[in-house]
Amino acid sequence: MKIAIFNNDAVSSQAITKKLTLALKKNNIVIDNNEPDIVVTVGGDGTLLGAFQHYVDQIDHIRFVGLHTGHLGFYTDWLSTELDELVNSLVNDNSQSVSYPLLDMTVVYDSGEHYHFLALNEAAIKQPTGTLVADIYLGDQIFERFRGDGISVATPTGSTAYNKANGGAVLHPSLSAIQMSEIASINNRVFRTLGSPLIVPQGQEIIMKPKSDHFLVMYDQSDIKVKSITELRFRVADKQVHFAAYRHVDFWQRVHRAFISDIE
């Protein structure tokens, strides 16, 4: 088994990475940051998102393990004080995994070129100044004309982030669906949107056709050059992300811990 370690730049994360590297080598585990079987992230949820994008072309055969240098997050199961237990789990790896849905975003340019991007958390289309105007299609059918600050399209695990702040529902990751939520939409006697989050199942698409070039497209921690984008398509991806199931924390426990109480 080959292990990659992906850490952020914090001093504490770098120190833990050194300890983890020594412990893995002591147990004769190969460190391979190019073609690993398991990626251990050291930092927080943002670090794991960065690792996912770094290894996105290899996610079919990679499992992720998150080690948090602060409080436990939505994607991180281990604390820095549990380094020995984590190493023991890696040494006795059972190849089990927990898999979650991903977002597939297709960006279409007026030249006809199109590119696919995968997101673990969400994609957001935002207008930094003025009003974003875009036609929203569900499949091939026009659904509404949106006016407002933007939209967010989230995976079930990403539903607890920007989507929740927009008033969206928290979805369990066993549901193969994506959710679109509105960011400060304009609703009055002249302009009208549904005004509620949309949950779209696997096999259906949300299509957004913007009416200007003055918006931002972001996914996870990355962004896309916007000029001449004519269409954005969102659907549940064919691929999934895989986490090592050593002691993968139940999703509702994560939600409870993050938003209600971390006291058992």
Binding-site positions for NAD(+) read: 45-46, 121-122, 147, 149, 184
Side chain identity, residue 136: I
| End-to-end Cα spacing for the chain | 35
Show which residues are catalytic: 45
Annotated binding site: 45-46, 121-122, 147, 149, 184
Cross-strand partners of 183: 150
Side chain identity, residue 115: Y
Structure tokens that stand for 9 in this block: 């730049």
> SS3 sequence, the chain?
CEEEEEECCCHHHHHHHHHHHHHHHHCCCEECCCCCCEEEEEECHHHHHHHHHHCHHHCCCCEEEEEECCCCCCCCCEEHHHHHHHHHHHHCCCCCEEEEEEEEEEEEECCCCEEEEEECCEEEEECCCCCEEEEEEECCEEEEEEEEEEEEEECCHHHHCHHHHCCCCCCCCCCCEEEEEEEEECCCCCCCCCCCCEEEECCCCEEEEECCCCCEEEECCEEECCCCEEEEEEEEEEEEEEEECCCCCCHHHHHHHHHCCCCC
